Structure 1
Amino acid sequence: MSIPNTSALKPLKKVKLSDFVTEEIERLILDNTFKEGDALPSERELMAAFNVGRPSVREALQNLAQRGLVEIKSGEKTRVTKPCAKTILSGLSGIAIGLLAQDKEKLQFEHLRQLFEIAIIREAAKVRTEEDVEKLSVALENNLAQVENYDRFIETDIAFHLTIIDILNNPMLASIYESLIQWLIRSRNPDTFAELHQISCEHHVRIFEAIKAGDPDRAEDEMRHHLDNVMNNS
């Protein structure tokens, strides 16, 4: 048999054995052959099943652990786990911090945070309950009390914003925000941002009042003003 057009053929890609094992086990997890909580076969059994050496199996299991699909504990069998937003985002942490070292990318992260929080605060202002308002009031008071303490102010600042996000009762949103803000804070100069704490407190008070009033337009305006100030001083 002749092949008329060899230029149309694509060469076979070389695949690392560990990547092959990773993809095959991942497929078995996704199609529920291995379910959450199940113990995977031993390393020796996996070596025999895939006809690979121990290093390839161990690297594959590490890959799966990084993806949040398995949990590896010393002296115990590797078990299938349920991936969550925190697991995924923690895997991105090193990449994010590297990007934030560059001014252009840092500004893009700040803009992403702005878009994220503005969408959230509009919804929060619409659906907040009296209980939500009480929790946010406590978070605000805690934040106002720490204006002179940089580390504690940052902690209570994050807690204030997370309390707003918690109004939507979506843990994934909280995980995304917590990772995003931690990345941004690690890229900031404490000396510069310490000077902005009093201004941030004033903004937080106005944000709280807008949510308490159940006014999404006002809440959006106040959050946009607050985050514009943060972006302009980043």
Structure 2
Amino acid sequence: MTTERGRDATSPAELPPSGWKDIALRVKDEFLEDHVTLTAAGVAPVVGIAVALWTASSGFAHLIEALNIAYDETDGRTFVKKRALALAMTLGALVLTAAVGAVLTLAGSSAITGVASIGAQIVGWLAVAALITFGLTALYRYGPDRDEPKWRWASWGAGLAVVSAVIVSIGFSLYVANFASYNETYGSLGAIVVTLMWLYLVAIVVIVGAELNAEMEPQTLRDSTRGHAKPMGRRGAHVADSVGPSSSQDRHDPAP
């Protein structure tokens, strides 16, 4: 009996068919007893969220790469560190989105009426602009692989990106409403295509904001990086260690 059931087996390969039958029956019983289908229903959303975060962080990983190019930096961080940074930025973007939604909800509250309602809407949108500017400034500051610039040296590009994004969004929405025919071309995928195109345009203005920051820092001889002032050449950032040329010169003249 011991041999027939595989009781003396030293590995699964030594189990006889009768032993595998016992195992199959026990798996079936445990499957029903442990309510596996209900447990899996709880796990599936978690897995879905994890996959969504990973996918979204890939977009931020590419954006970080673009910021390194804008700041003339070579990223020497490990894959794990870069992915962790991209995930952190993804979570930060989600928190920022939630904050923006909360501000707009409060500003549009039905409890506020009359002239106060208009004032609340204006204040709400200004607060949204400030939140997004802060988020982009943090992105420009911590995204590239370099010593962080002071906040004031990263905020101007963020401001430009916010203003440009508003203009681009208005222009694109007018174009889609009056000239484009995405639904006729792509059918039910039209809304997705429009969203992807809008994200592409917004990504462009975000990178342009980084380019502005990268060209402002070498315009001054003073240290634009965080902490105590350091001499040029020891600031840990290419643009901070460079002198911006005049329009008649080559791009950046590295400091000696």
Instruction: Give the TM-score normalised by the residue count of structure 2.
Output: 0.25
Higher relative contact order (CA 8 A, sep 6+): 1
Instruction: Give the TM-score normalised by the residue count of structure 1.
Output: 0.27
